[in-house]
Structure 1
Amino acid sequence: MRIAIIAAMAEEMAPFRSESRIQARSQVGKVIVEEAIYRDQPIILVESGIGKVNAAVAVTLLIERYKPDLIINSGSSGAFADGLKVGDVVVATQYRYGDVDATCFGYEHGQVPQMPVKYDLDEEWVDVARQAAAVADKLPYSLDFGLVLTLDSFMSESERVEWIKSTFPSVKVSDMEGLAIVQAAAQYGIPVLAIKAVSDITGHGGDTADSFDDNLDDVAKHAAHFTELLVQQIQSSAV
């Protein structure tokens, strides 16, 4: 099975690079693609750049060139759900856009015209993530599963955060790339799993941005840690 790991930023990719032997490297615009040996297994590492467009371009390049069987998106996120703390990890079971509004045409909030309202991640692959959690030793963070939103905005303003919570009451966390990855991969029939560690709690103004800056390196390691457990579970299941 060919697995690709995609992250938006160098900081989010750093834990994987530190454990990998890079065999080849190419770059197109912001997108960096590395053929690597990770934990003694061949893997594709993709640093996409920040935002939906960079993520969609990266996934298209990845699939056209390497045809992976599974894409894992590892990275940081802002927490909406009560009880989530910095460092906790959320595995996405569903994605929606949090900043799309075509409701005047009869679409739901978050629905791109002529596209699905939501994107449910493949249940069998989500179950593999649940299995990885079940067999793991005590995790150094809390783990949750649920809805992730993708938005173009960093969610520091309390009024916007309250609107998001009221509009999408089951949301756990948000990111800036995940659904672009899922949507682009869906065009090719490639499944995606998303592992999101909490770098900040939304709605706290400048403190939210400071939290992201202060915690990014550490939470990237948490997301990478569970991604590693997931890759191990996939490898053991394939034996």
Structure 2
Amino acid sequence: MRIAIITAMEEEMAPFRSQAHITSKTQVGKVIIEEATYLGQPLILVESGIGKVNAAVATTLLIERYQPDLILNSGSAGAFGAGLSVGDVVVATQYIYGDVDATCFGYEPGQVPQMPARYDLDAAWLDRAKGVAAAAELPYSLDFGLVLTLDSFMSEAERVEGIKSTFPAVKVSDMEGLGIVQAAAQYGIPVLAVKAVSDIAGHGDMTANSFDDNLDDVATHAAHFTDLLVQQLQSVYVES
């Protein structure tokens, strides 16, 4: 089974690189692709750069060159959902673009014209992730739910409230996830996205400061659960 991990930033990739033996490295623009041995098994590490275009480009390069069976997106996110705290982890069950608006043409909020209104992540892979979560003793709270991808860092309270009123089920938002999911969907490649809360959306400068202060720690949380997924999936593949 060929697994790839995509992160947006070096800080989010660092926990994986620290445990991996890198055997090759290539770079195209902002995209860094590394072949690695990780926990005794082959793994592909991709650092995409920030934003959904970089993420989509990285995903396309990855798939065209390596044809992975599964893509894991690990990284940070801003919390919208009630009860979420910095350090908590959310696994995406569904993705929507939080700042796309073509409703004047009859499309749903968040729907890119001629594309799906929302992207449901693969149910079978999510069931495996839920099994991993149930069996593990986690040093953080973990939840599953809707993730939005936006081009903006969500620090402004008024804008955050508007998004929450449009998408009341949203748990967290990121800037890359749906770029990965949409690109992978074109090829029929499943994606699991693991997002750790670095900040609480809508608190102005406090939101930005929280991101800066907590990025390394929350990247470790996201990487921890992603690592559990990799171990479980690789062990199942080896046994089968």
Q: Does TM, scored on the shorter chain, surpass 0.5? A: yes
Q: Please, what TM-score do these two structures have when normalized by structure 2? A: 0.98
Q: Hey, what does 1:6 align to over in structure 2?
A: 6
Aligned twin of 2:186: 187
- Distance of 1:221 and 1:38 partners within structure 2: 16
The size of the alignment, in residue pairs, is 238
In the aligned structure 1, how far is the partner of 2:103 from the partner of 2:119?
18
Q: Which is worse superposed, 127-136 or 207-216? A: 127-136
Contact 1:131 1:233 in 2 (8 A): no
- Are 2:129 and 1:133 aligned? no
Residue 154 of structure 2 is matched in structure 1 by: 155
Question: 1:83 matched to which residue of 2?
Answer: 83
Q: Deviations over 1:109-138 (max 9, x none)?
A: 1000000000000000001100111111x2
* Distance in structure 2 (CA, Å) of the matches to 1:135 and 1:105: 46
2:223 alignment partner in structure 1:
224
Distance, in Å, in 1 between the alignment partners of 2:26 and 2:180 is 20
Look up the match of 1:206.
205
5 Å matches for 1:78-117? 78-117=78-117
Superposition map of 1:7-22 within 5 A: 7-22=7-22
* In 1, Cα distance between equivalents of 2:69 and 2:162: 37
Alpha-carbon distance between aligned partners in 2 of 1:128 and 1:29, rounded to the nearest angstrom? 34
The percent of aligned pairs where both chains have the same amino acid is 79
- Aligned partners of 1:89 and 1:142 also within 8 Å: yes
How many Å separate the matches in 2 of 1:233 and 1:121? 19
Displacement of 1:6: 0.1
Asked if 2 retains the 8 angstrom alpha-carbon contact of 1:36 and 1:44, the reply is yes
Separation in 2, partners of 1:111, 1:185: 17
After superposition, give the CA deviation of every residue in 1:69-109 in whole Å (9 maximum; x if it has no partner). 00000000000001000000000000000000001101011
Separation of aligned partners in 1, 2:227 and 2:134: 14
Matched to 2:105, the amino acid is F
Amino acid at match of 1:80: F
Q: Distance in 1 between matches of 2:181 and 2:166?
A: 22
Which secondary structure does the structure 2 equivalent of 1:54 belong to?
Answer: helix
Per-residue deviation at 1:198?
0.2
Q: Return the alpha-carbon distance in structure 2 between the equivalents of residues 92 and 154 of structure 1.
A: 19
Aligned to 2:25: 25
- Alpha-carbon deviations, 1:37-93, whole Å to 9, x = none? 111110000000000110000000000000000000000000000100000000000
Query: AA paired with 1:191?
Result: P
Q: Mark the runs of 5 or more structure 1 residues left unpaired by the alignment.
A: none
Shift of 1:235: 1.9
Structure 1 counterpart of 2:183, which letter? Answer: A
What SS class does the counterpart of residue 187 from structure 1 fall into? helix
TM-score by length of 1: 0.99
Structure 1 consecutive aligned stretches of length 4 or more whose deviation exceeds 3 Å: none
CA distance in 1, matches of 2:65, 2:235: 27
Q: Deviations over 1:130-171 (max 9, x none)?
A: 0111111x2110000000000000000000000011000000
